[in-house]
Every structure is written in C-alpha cells, then in structure tokens.
Chain A
Amino acid sequence: MSFLEISGVRKSFGPTTVVHDFDLSAEKGEFISFLGPSGCGKTTMLRMIAGFETPSQGTIRIDGEDVTHVQPNARRIGMVFQAYALFPNLTIADNVAFGLKVAGRPKAEIATRVEEMLALIKLPHLASRYPYQLSGGQQQRVALARAIAVKPRVLLLDEPLSALDAKIRVSLREEIRSLQRELGITTIFVTHDQEEALSMSDRIVVMSEGRIDQIGNPFEIYNKPRTRFVAGFVGTLSVLEAVATGGTGVRIGEEAIVLSGAPAVQPGTSLSLALRPEAVSLHPSPERINRLAGRIVDVAFLGSVVRMRIATAGGTVLVDSFNDPATPPPQRDTAVTLHFTAAGIYPLEGAGDAPVAAAAA
C-alpha cells in the first residue's frame, strides 16, 4: 500500500467546488509536484493534506492512518510557506527548535538536533540571529530546517520559492531536492512554475480548474501531454490548424504532413496540431520527413538559444535553434523551410487554455 493516499477528495466553499475527485497515491520518499495556474485548487488540496481545510468528501491517509478529520497539530506533517512564516520573536535556533520544544523533547536532544539541522542547511553561524536579519533565501532554508527538524511523515511545500529572486530560486530548488533525497521524506510541492516542477519532481500532478488533468513523470508530462491544457501550460508550444486527409496524413495549407499515428477524427475534418520549438529545424535531415514553408516574423537572440517566430499556412510556429558562433542569426522576413519528424508533431484533444497564449509567455 502506498504511503500517502488521497482518494475521492472534493472540496466546496459554499456553491463553488474548488477541488473535484482528487485521487493520488504517493510512495514513501516520492517527490510530487502539484502544478497549475493560480486558482486551480492545488494549494487547497495541499492545505487539506496539512489539515487546515477539511475535505467536503473523500479521505486522506498517511501511512495507513486515516487523517481526514485529524487536527493539523496531530498529523506530524512539516510545512513550508511562501512567506517563510518564521517566528519573528525567536532566534534562528529557537525557530528550528520550536516543534521539538512543543513535543517536549529533552533539552540535550533538542540542542543536538538543532545543530544538526543548521549544519544541514549550511547556516550554523546564524543560530543566534533573528529572522529579520536574514535574506529571503536564508529565511526559507531555516523554515525548511524547522519543518524537517520534527521528522514529519510528509513534507508540504507551498510555493516556497515564489518570493525569491531568480538565482536563489534555482540554487534553493536544487538544495531542497538533494535534502529531500538524502532524508527520503515524502514531499508534496505546490508550484505554478513548470520549470520548477519539471526539474524537481519524481511525478507531476497537473491541475486545472480543480481537476487533475494528468499525472506522470516530467518526461511524460512534457513529451506526451494528454490534454490541450497540459500541452499549453507545460513548456512552450505552437499550435497549427490542419485538416485530416485519412490515415496518418493531414494537410496544413497545401502541404501534406505525416503524423506518427492516425488522429481520432474523420477525414476532411479540421484538427489542431502541437509542435515544440525544439522539435523543428531549419535544416533538412533524413528522419525529418515533414516540410512546411514559412517566413521569419521575428528573431530573438537569447544567448545559448535563438528563438524565431515563423509564419506558416497553419499559424505561427516558434522555432528554437542553438547559438552557433560561426553563423549569425537569420534575418527577419527571410523565406525558410521548417523540417520536423512525424513524432515531433501530434494532435491535441480536449479543451483548455489557448495554448497559443501560453506559447507567447
């Protein structure tokens, strides 16, 4: 049986339901991200695991124990908040010791554990400082140490990196991940940042409008998005309008394109195709059997990557190519031919946010 089991959880506030039929089982030591835009119910689901909200329906089990109606202070979970939430009146050491003191552990044990925790987050020299004397990144590391000092059964992270600046965000997410691996603690991480979710998680739960759209590992989520919403929300994507011509063939404008599988529509009906920027090349190769003519609308030089927007008969396509010091980036308004494989382009099903909007972000 899995360690954390959420089955059939629904949460309504008055007439509005914010979480529908949430099912998830997590293994011990797994790192799972809840990914979605704001208002998708991911934080509400996390707060139900923490015990700050009670599900309207369904059960939550931790290590076989039904905790659906257990008070938050009896659940033995650790939580890290976006706003750090360190106790401003206590020193860093006292903050980390708080949970152990509340649990009535012997003084010597608390001292050892606090020392151990501060060493773990590499801040032993700040033990006697107060939270306001620390930077945001340091405060969040202390909050993490405080949460894991009590050896919780599940660690809940509620957008812990959102208030930090870009560089610290990247270094701290690596630190969180390696700490989590080292301690083998089951972790739920809530974020709206797909890069964080992709880089840190064992599995990602993509949510929209209170429902789970897809559960899978980062590779699956990125490469085989099940819904239009997932495809648009995770990563950058171009959408092309096409018409099915029977079998694996479709037509974009006047050009015939081959897909890796037959789309689930009748020949003659129109459908949307998704194309990742890195799946397209301006250079032909034997396996890139599909070809599409276009004209460069815009070129953005991003350093290691050159991103082009190219107008085609099916819509605008984003194309990424690696920077080559020997060749300057192509000029605007140049006519080009796009080359991509049959597996690189796939039909989208279901409704969702317009992926084009997500592609522009």
Chain B
Amino acid sequence: MNRSRIAPTVIVTLAALYFLVPLVATLEFSMRMVRGTYSLKAYQVVFADPRFQATFSFSVIAALCTIVIGALLVVPTAYWIRLKFPRLRGLVEFITLLPLVVPPIVLVFGYLRIYNSSSWLPFTATIAGTNVLLVFGYAVLSLPYMYRAVDTGMGAIDIRTLTEAAESLGASRRTILMRVILPNVRAAILSGAFLTFAIVIGEFVLASLLNRPAFGPYLQLVGANRAYEPAALAMIAFAITWACMGFLQLFGSGVPGRRLGSTILRFGKRGR
C-alpha cells in the first residue's frame, strides 16, 4: 500500500469502528432474547405490543401534521423573503436557527406557562388542544431543517424571473405560488419533510412533558423496564431514520423539471 494512504485508512477504520461497534453490539444483543440461539423474538414482542402500534401511529400522524404545517408556514415565507425582502434573509435565517440553540425543555416550559388551562389561550385544557400544541412545538423544532431545505431549493431556481414571467401571463400571486413555485421546490420540501419525520418520530421532551402517548416516551418507558426489547426498538428507530435519509438522497438529487417519477426511474437505473 502507498505510504501516504496509511494514515487516512487508519482514521477511517477507527471512525467506522466507533460508529459500527455499538450498532452491531445492539443488533447482536437484540437477537439474544431466546437463550443459547439467535432469534427475532424481541422484535416479535415489540411488534405485538399494542402500545408500540398506538404510540408509533400517534407519532406518524403527528409527524405528517407537522410537515403540512411546516410547509404551509415556510414555503410562502421563504418565497416572500426572497422576492420582496432579500435584506431580511439573514435575520429570518437566524430566527429559524433558534430552535437549535434554545433547548426543547425551555420551549415546552414556556408553552406550559403561556398556554396552561388557566391562561387566556388554554391549549392544555383539552386533549385535542394539547395535541395541537404538540404539533406546533414540533413545527418549531423542525423549522431549521425545513427552512434551510426550502430556501436552498428556491435559490436553485430563478424565483424572481419565474414570478415575473407568470405575472406577465396574467397569473395572480396565489396561482404563482401554487402552480409555479411549489412544484419547483417540491424536492426541497420533501427533503425537509423527511428530516422533520425523523425528528418527530424520536422526539421525547415535548411529548413527555405534555404527557402525550408518542413513540419517544414509549421508547424511554420500555428502555427503563425491559432488557432485550429496547435494543430491538433502537434498531427499528435506526431503520426508520436511515429510510428517511435514503429518501432524502433520492429526492434531494431531483433536478427541477424532472418529475418525481423520473427521479425514481433514474435512481432505479443507477441502482441496477
């Protein structure tokens, strides 16, 4: 081997071990529920647990609602900022990054102070209200990812000229947003959506402190009381996250003008 390549190889190997050893160990442990042999018993137990199904579907629905709210909030904002107030872009970007700096625990205590059952806007007085508050909180947590994805997507197409072209053809602002801007940043919205999905599925703090039956608190509960099942759950969570990353890669490479279908086709051809 070339001498200059020894050091990089060692570093890459060490880094790979650092990531892979715990993963492989967890996988190995998760399959040892039946003594003396490898089996998928722990996974069967997890999938058979009605609480797994209930909490997982709760979180999936919450994630989908978050994605819709996030997209409705972020797409028009990013469009308007780029078109009319380009000077404010730095400020808005900073604001959208705040959820990375302010811990979720601070956010949720703030919510509980402002929206508790004796406040002027008692979100937490009802279960539905608390669910809504939870989804709003998730939308805030996903803001940094959603905004950056969409804003970058808009940077890749000439928003201003496309808007003017559509305007000169008689289109209203709403038509332009729905028929011109949205379809062209669809890939960007999707990559933001997958990140949002991954965040919401594993989120613990908001769901736990608002006392909602989400997947995160369930993971914690099982982890505190069982031996093999948490390992199986961890592997399942990894699989979900990786699937999201995979989709992100798939749609993130979409060039404007190529429909999603053709992106998949292209990907399929490359895979073969």
Contacts and interface: CB of A to CB of B under 8 A. Distances in A.
Which of B169, B255, B258, B259 is packed against the most chain A CB atoms within 10 Å? B169
A144 to B, nearest CB: 12
Contact of A79 (B164, B172, B183, B258): B164
Interface string A71-111: 11111111101010111110000000011001100000000
A51 B164 CA distance: 10
A50 interface: yes
Given A76-B170, A98-B169, A102-B171, A87 B162 contact: yes
A102 B165 contact: no
Contact of B258 (A71, A76, A130): A130
A302 B77 CA distance: 56
B256 A79 contact: no
B36 interface: no
A79 B170 contact: no
- Judged by DSSP, the binding face of B is helix
Contacts of A50: 164, 168
Contacts of A103: 170
B179 to A, nearest CB: 8
B158 A83 contact: yes
B161 A98 contact: no
Given A83-B158, A130-B257, A89 B164 contact: no
B157 interface: yes
Given A102-B175, A130-B258, A131-B257, A85 B161 contact: yes
Nearest to B165: A85
Contacts of A52: 164, 167
B240 interface: no
A11 interface: no
Interface in B220-249: none
Contact of A99 (B169, B172, B183, B186): B169
Contact of B167 (A73, A89, A131, A156): A73
A103 B172 CA distance: 10
B180 interface: yes
A132 interface: yes
A192 interface: no
B197 to A, nearest CB: 24
Contact of B168 (A72, A83, A86, A87): A72
B169 A88 contact: no
A73 B170 contact: yes
B210 interface: no
A18 to B, nearest CB: 18
A50 B172 CA distance: 15
Given A87-B162, A87-B184, A72 B167 contact: yes
Contacts of B164: 50, 52, 72, 79, 81, 85
Interface in B48-100: none
A40 interface: no
A88 B168 contact: no
A72 B165 CA distance: 10
A89 B166 CA distance: 13
A88 B255 CA distance: 9
Given A81-B164, A85-B162, A85-B164, A146 B169 contact: yes
Interface in B249-268: 255-259
A76 B255 CA distance: 32
Given A87-B180, A132-B257, A73 B168 contact: yes
Contacts of B179: 98
A99 B170 contact: yes
Contacts of B259: 89
Interface string B199-230: 00000000000000000000000000000000
B146 to A, nearest CB: 20
Given A85-B161, A130-B257, A78 B184 contact: no
A150 interface: yes
A231 interface: no
Contacts of A132: 255-258
Interface string B139-178: 0000000000000000001100110111111111001000
Contacts of A156: 168
Contact of B170 (A81, A87, A102, A131): A102
Contact of A73 (B157, B172, B258): B172
A75 B167 CA distance: 10
A57 B130 CA distance: 55
Contact of B165 (A71, A76, A81, A130): A81
Given A50-B164, A102-B175, A89 B256 contact: yes
B175 A79 contact: no
A98 B166 contact: yes
A147 interface: yes
Contacts of A89: 180, 183-184, 186, 256-257, 259
Contacts of A83: 158, 161
Interface of A: 50-52, 71-79, 81, 83, 85-89, 98-99, 102-103, 130-132, 143, 146-147, 150, 156
Given A81-B164, A98-B171, 10 more contacts: A71-B167, A72-B164, A74-B170, A87-B166, A87-B184, A89-B180, A98-B169, A130-B258, A131-B257, A150-B170
27 contacts: A72-B168, A73-B169, A73-B171, A76-B170, A77-B168, A79-B165, A83-B161, A85-B162, A87-B162, A87-B165, A87-B166, A88-B157, A89-B180, A89-B184, A89-B186, A98-B166, A99-B169, A102-B166, A102-B170, A102-B175, A130-B257, A131-B257, A132-B256, A132-B257, A146-B169, A147-B168, A156-B168
Interface of B: 157-158, 161-162, 164-172, 175, 179-180, 183-184, 186, 255-259
